[in-house]
Structure 1
Amino acid sequence: MTQYLVAIHHPDDYDPSVAEDEAMSRDIDVLNDEMTAAGVRIFVGGLRPASSAMSLRARPNGEVFITDGPYLETKEHVGGFWVLEAADLDEALVWGRKAAVACRAPVEVRPFH
């Protein structure tokens, strides 16, 4: 079985206190319970806003340069994710579809090496 990243993407200005209501929280809880019951969920985590990130870049001299903010400047960032173990991409996509509905957000499904 292969492990897959199921990543939830949020816009840069995402505010969970505004965007996430009780129904959404309940839908995510139900999805987490379903994943656990199916034995596919390895790990799940929500991330703080991209503005809280620190980016590290190695320089040729070995020094590491640290800056405030996300590594990439984009309009969307990963807001949370699951690591799942699925039989194949089709099964991972089934879970990704459920995640997109529960989280009301775009989802990316990607296999690990």
Structure 2
Amino acid sequence: MRYACFIYYDPKVLFGGSPEANAVLEKCASYDEVLKASGHFVMGEALELPETGQVVRKREGEVLGTDGPFMETKEVLGGIILIEAPDLDEAARVAGGHPLASIGAIEVRPVVDFSQPRPVM
């Protein structure tokens, strides 16, 4: 099964120049290789900071764009990794090994299998 791992961090902490943050950034450079060697890696991408993006909404047939997302949080979505794992426990274990887990947070969610019935709410 595939799992999306959403990586969140506080840019001021991660890019603040502390020895801990610098060590984490150094380890991040090769972590995809660790995941490839273990057979978990599907894909991964780091994201630029939110201010460089745009939020798009469509309302009443009109597309509205605003610069960067408005957030009242210090942590931002900084990257995504797609992994293969037999279950959520294994996916969480794999995500917990990512260097950024020690300085930020990683949300792990199963990817929807569209061959299965939709969730009932």
Q: What TM-score comes out, normalization by structure 2 length?
A: 0.76
SS of the residue 1:5 aligns to: strand
Structure 1 runs of 4+ aligned residues shifted over 6 Å read: none
Q: Residue 46 of structure 1 corresponds to which residue in structure 2?
A: 46
Indicate how the Cα distance of structure 1 residues 69 and 83 shifts in structure 2: closer, same or farther if over 3 A, else same.
same
- 5 Å matches for 1:1-113? 2-11=1-10, 13=12, 16=15, 18=17, 20-21=21-22, 23-60=23-60, 62-70=61-69, 72-75=70-73, 76-99=75-98, 102-103=99-100, 104-113=103-112
Instruction: Check the 8 A contact 1:8/1:107 in 2, yes or no.
Output: yes
SS of the residue 1:18 aligns to: coil
Q: For structure 1, which runs of at least 5 residues remain unmatched after alignment?
A: none
- How many equivalent pairs are there? 107
Query: What is the rounded CA distance, in whole Å, between the counterparts of 1:86 and 1:55 in structure 2?
Result: 31
After the TM superposition, which of the residue ranges 82-91 and 29-38 deviates more from structure 2?
Answer: 29-38
Query: What is the rounded CA distance, in whole Å, between the counterparts of 2:25 and 2:11 in structure 1?
Result: 20
- CA RMSD, Structure 1 to Structure 2 (Å): 2.0
Q: For structure 2, which runs of at least 5 residues remain unmatched after alignment?
A: 113-121
SS of the residue 1:80 aligns to: strand
Query: What is the rounded CA distance, in whole Å, between the counterparts of 1:58 and 1:107 in structure 2?
Result: 29
SS of the residue 1:110 aligns to: strand
After the TM superposition, which of the residue ranges 47-56 and 26-35 deviates more from structure 2?
Answer: 26-35
Query: What is the rounded CA distance, in whole Å, between the counterparts of 1:30 and 1:86 in structure 2?
Result: 20
Q: What TM-score comes out, normalization by structure 1 length?
A: 0.81
| Identity within the alignment, % | 27
Question: How many Å apart are 1:85 and its aligned residue?
Answer: 1.0
Residue type of the alignment partner of 2:33: D
